Amino acid sequence: MNRGAIMRFRGQFRYAVDHKGRLAVPAAFRHALQAANQRTLVLTKGYDGEIEAHPLEEWERFEEGTLLAIPRYKRETRRFMRRRASAATEVEMDSQGRIMLPRHLAEYAQIESEAVITGAISHFEIWNPSVFEKFEEESETHQEDDSENLEKYLHEGRSE
């Protein structure tokens, strides 16, 4: 893959967070990022208590296509933009494929000594293991309804 190529993040992994707050990026994700010459990630608050990790190019497309496109004169769009942008932090993968979790995001996601890292196709997510377990249980309960309702979202197009 070269710069600008489409990266996909799939799978679920569990890793320790070291005493300095560093977390290893799963090898499959690291290889996809390196093949696309992407060592920089943008971390921000997710929608369900997780940290979202976006390759820099993917995040910049989101900024251009969404954050800069929404009207600033509407309260709800300002709220959305501020929440997404104010928490966003660029981090660089080190030579061992680790990233430093910013303290404000680790606290938000309640991540201490261990994290679950999950693929989310265009980006990946970093979860507190017990929060992710609860999310999975809830998802399992609603799987049939969610699947049946997908059709209406497919017509609305892709959303972040």
Instruction: Identify the H or E element spanning 13.
Output: strand 12-16
**Is 57 part of any domain?**
yes
Phi, psi of 35 (to 5 degrees): -65, -30
Stated pTM of the model: 0.87
| Structural domain includes residue 1 | no
pLDDT per 10-residue tile (average), the chain, 160 residues: 68 97 97 91 96 95 91 91 93 97 98 97 97 93 81 66
* Residue 114: domain span: 12-156
Residue 35 domain-assigned (yes or no): yes
Q: What is the pLDDT of residue 160?
A: 46
CATH number at residue 41: 3.40.1550.20
How would DSSP label each residue in 110-127?
T-SSEEEEEE-BSSEEEE
- pLDDT score of 128: 98
Q: Give the model's pLDDT for residue 137.
A: 92
Residue 7 resides in a domain: no
Give residue 86's pLDDT: 93
Please, which residues have CB within 8 angstroms of residue 129's CB and are 6 or more apart in sequence?
14, 114, 115, 116
Question: ∠120-158-29 over CA atoms, to 5°?
Answer: 25
- Within 10 angstroms of residue 58's Cβ, the number of other Cβ atoms is 20
Going from the C-alpha of 66 to that of each of 45, 48, 80, the distances in angstroms are 16, 20, 10
Residue 5 covered by a domain: no
Contacts of 75 (CB under 8 A, 6+ apart): none
Residue indicated by tokens 């820099």: 56
Tell me whether residue 18 is in a domain.
yes
Question: Would you state the pLDDT for residue 157?
Answer: 59
Q: How many domains does the chain have?
A: 1
Residue at 43 is within a domain: yes
The count of C-alpha atoms lying within 13 angstroms of the C-alpha of 15, restricted to the half-sphere facing its C-beta, is: 21
Asked, for residue 4, whether it belongs to a domain, the answer is no
